[in-house]
Amino acid sequence: MKKIISILLAVMLVVSVAVFSVNAYGSDGDYSKLSPGSSYDPSDSYTVDDNTPTCEEAIVACGGDLNNVQKIYFQVPKADPNQDGSDWVNQYNTDANGVCQICVYWWGGIAGSASEGWPSGKGCTWVGYRTKLVDPVNRIYEATVPADGNTPLIIWNNGVNGGMDQTKPIFKFGRQLADANIEGAYEGDYDTLPEGTPNEDNMDGCIQIIDYAHSTVNPLTQIPAYESFWYVYYGDGCYGEYPTTSPNYHGKYASCVNPEHNHPRPGDVNNDKSVDMIDVLCIQYHLAQRDLPEGMEFDTITADVDGDGHISIIDATRIQRYLARLCNIDGTTPYKEAE
């Protein structure tokens, strides 16, 4: 896995540290806070608030097409144990329900920072746009970003920025990722995934994972900008190196590289770290409603080998076919030795 290439241009740094929010906008409804022709005016806010538009609202406001977008994801990291004050969640970006508000903004294109972004010509300003929390347990957020080929860079942030006034208490709570390319990921040196993204023209369906071991420091704010890795997002907090269409993909849990997850292997019914005929025997005992031999475990999650929500003879047959090398444990063929 290669690290995201971070492009930090001086002009971007100057714009990115300016602190803005948004004023209230008109009627309620889907994507209606902003309408085509709206302006994006700064206020005195130093953090995300209820008036900050969502990514979808911003795209609509700038005349974009929600049928021509890419969905990218971000896992809010846990605090770095080696660095004090690295937590992305704080009292400034948490709403009344205790949910952390994560924002994103991008360079160029529809609702970007370029002059062709907002109709007012001001472009995107801090804190950007609110993203959607899609998995509270695994802290996964989803951003809707234009896929028009003119949105090269994106930055995730925690909805807080103290600007250049380092005397304000809020200043030290700002967190952001370094700039990352999301368009033309396979052009030139932008080689990020070993087998490509689900869409090689952008990062649709992929997730950014922070790399605490590497960060740059914004020269104006002295706030770290953390580098990150791209992975294909499988859902349920699972991500890995291979698209689901790859012959190297062996299912959501088997291909997951999230260090926070320790998913048991599908087919390992007795959780002994191997898939063998004992697992078939466990399923047969279960279906016959017989007690398992003493000391033998039965995992209902791994026993549902085909993932249809039911434990049946089909699951036992899948394991037998896998052991005979007639298929992979996820049912795909041809058989490939697990790595």
DSSP 131-192: -EEEETTTTEEEEEEE-SS---EEEEE-SB--TT-TTSGGGGG--EEPPEE-BSTTSTT---
- Enumerate the domain spans of the chain: 1-263, 264-339
Longest dimension (CA), the chain: 73
Confidence category of residue 116, pLDDT binned at 50, 70, 90:
low
Least confident of 18-22, 295-299, 307-311: 18-22
pTM of this prediction exceeds 0.75: no
When pLDDT is averaged across residues 178-198 and rounded to a whole number, the result is 62
Higher pLDDT, 118 or 53: 53
Confidence category of residue 23, pLDDT binned at 50, 70, 90:
very low
Confidence category of residue 52, pLDDT binned at 50, 70, 90:
confident
What CATH number does domain 264-339 carry, 1.10.1330.10, 1.10.510.10, 3.40.50.150, 1.10.3720.10?
A: 1.10.1330.10
Higher pLDDT, 82 or 234: 234
DSSP 9-25: -HHHHHHHTS-------
Higher pLDDT, 310 or 20: 310
Exposed/middle/buried for residue 81 (C-beta within 10 Å: 0-12, 13-18, 19+): exposed
Q: Rounded to 5 degrees, what angle do the CA atoms 79, 83, 89 make?
A: 30
Residue 64 has pLDDT above 50, yes or no: yes
Higher pLDDT, 85 or 62: 62
When pLDDT is averaged across residues 310-336 and rounded to a whole number, the result is 92
